[in-house]
């Protein structure tokens, strides 16, 4: 299996390492700064050799190197700076994603595309628009990362291993995301059995602001350890045809009463990409919040030529 990662920054290069280490396939690391991609690839090769892991990795600044890829991961683009929202990146990253989408359509027309570039939901929509791929073949990474953050914060609050915690986050990959306490369990027990409403609300807010908090401390750039692991998890679900339910930004075509918008929902992922969109039984307030979240994305989409 050929897996191309476009963007050799922190997220792209670390994702490449996790993917190679798991033996998921041949990895091509692409970046317009060709020397950067080459240097990262050589360093990753040395790391794999140190671990005794077989590897097959190449690097290039030529986008045609993704030719005949089975999976393409888009991490290229500008990262957030302190005080900047994901939405403010829209104008900067839209033209980058458009050019990449057209290249993917030309060189890897049968690929599955995973979008990481922010604002993630809108960029996922743009990739679908410009590639004209089937909706099952294009999705964004966001909700899987948000759910991991929610899970980690709950783990700290209740002193239980994160492996024993199941979380669900839907909506935008932004501050209008919807962590869902009703669909969150600790050792199979409802979250409200462990925490009172005030504590739960605090965790919801911290989850929504987690990315911004990380950016504020880093000063330049944004999170990369957790996002890169989430990318590798998605690639693994496809490469191994795992039939796993994972939250991703997917194009809705009537599900949840929404159409023509990419937004975070749980999906069954396998070898063909999104094999099923899972529709949760939301209550009235959850449905209203998801609809409002979707409308915020539509407003951003209308800004794109």
What's the pTM?
0.96
Q: For domain 2-141, which CATH number applies: 3.40.630.10, 3.30.70.1290, 3.40.50.720, 3.40.50.2300?
A: 3.40.50.720
- Tokens at 95, concatenated: 């033209």
10-50 per-position pLDDT tens digit: 999 999 999 999 999 999 999 998 799 999 999 999 999 99
Catalytic residue selected from 18, 50, 95, 173: 173
Write out the residue limits of the CATH 3.90.110.10 domain(s) in the chain: 143-301
Q: Which residue is it, tokens 């939901």?
A: 121
* 97-116 residue pLDDT tens: 999 999 999 999 999 999 99
**pLDDT band per the 50, 70, 90 thresholds, residue 174:** confident
Give yes or no: 173 in active site.
Answer: yes
Q: Does domain 143-301 have CATH number 3.40.1350.10?
A: no
The 3-state secondary structure of the chain reads: CEEEEECCCHHHHHHHHHHHHCCCCEEEEECCCHHHHHHHHHHHHHHHHHHCCCCCEEEECCHHHHCCCCEEEECCCCCCCCCCCCHHHHHHHHHHHHHHHHHHHHHCCCCEEEECCCCHHHHHHHHHHHHCCCHHHEEECHHHHHHHHHHHHHHHHHCCCHHHEECCEEECCCCCCEECHHHCEECCEEHHHCCCHHHHHHHHHHHHHHHHHHHHHHCCCCCCHHHHHHHHHHHHHHHCCCCEEEEEEEEEECHHHCEEEEEEEEEEEECCEEEEECCCCCCHHHHHHHHHHHHHHHHHHCCCC
Domain with CATH 3.40.50.720 in the chain: 2-141
CA dist list (Å): 211 to 99, 108, 205, 280, 296: 27, 32, 11, 25, 19
pLDDT tens per residue, range 175-192: 899 999 999 999 999 999
Residue 86: pLDDT over 80: no
């Amino acid at each position: 299996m050929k897996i191309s990662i476009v963007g050799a920054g922190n997220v792209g290069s670390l994702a490449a390492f996790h993917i190679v280490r798991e033996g998921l396939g041949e990895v091509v690391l692409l970046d317009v700064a060709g020397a950067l991609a080459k240097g990262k690839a050589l360093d990753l090769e040395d790391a794999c050799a140190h671990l005794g892991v077989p590897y097959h990795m190449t690097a290039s600044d030529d986008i045609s190197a993704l030719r005949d890829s089975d999976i393409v991961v888009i991490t290229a683009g500008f990262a957030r700076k302190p005080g900047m929202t994901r939405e403010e990146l829209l104008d900067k990253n839209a033209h980058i994603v458009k050019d990449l989408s057209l290249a993917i359509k030309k060189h890897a027309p049968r690929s599955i595309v995973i979008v990481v570039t922010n604002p993630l939901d809108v960029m996922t929509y743009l990739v679908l628009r410009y590639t004209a791929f089937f909706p099952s073949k294009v999705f964004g990474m966001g909700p899987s990362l948000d759910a991991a953050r929610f899970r980690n914060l709950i783990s700290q609050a209740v002193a239980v291993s994160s492996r024993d915690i199941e979380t669900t986050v839907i909506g935008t990959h932004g501050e209008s995301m919807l962590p869902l306490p009703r669909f969150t369990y600790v050792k199979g027990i409802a979250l409200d059995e462990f925490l009172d409403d005030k504590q739960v609300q605090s965790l919801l807010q911290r989850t929504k602001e987690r990315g911004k908090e990380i950016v504020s401390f880093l000063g330049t750039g944004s999170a990369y350890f957790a996002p890169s692991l989430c990318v590798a998890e998605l690639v693994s679900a496809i490469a191994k045809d795992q039939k796993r339910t994972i939250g991703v930004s997917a194009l809705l075509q009537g599900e949840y009463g929404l159409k023509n918008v990419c937004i975070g929902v749980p999906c069954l992922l396998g070898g063909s990409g999104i094999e099923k969109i899972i529709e949760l039984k939301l209550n009235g307030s959850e449905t209203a919040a998801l609809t409002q979240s979707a409308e915020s994305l539509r407003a951003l989409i209308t800004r794109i030529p």
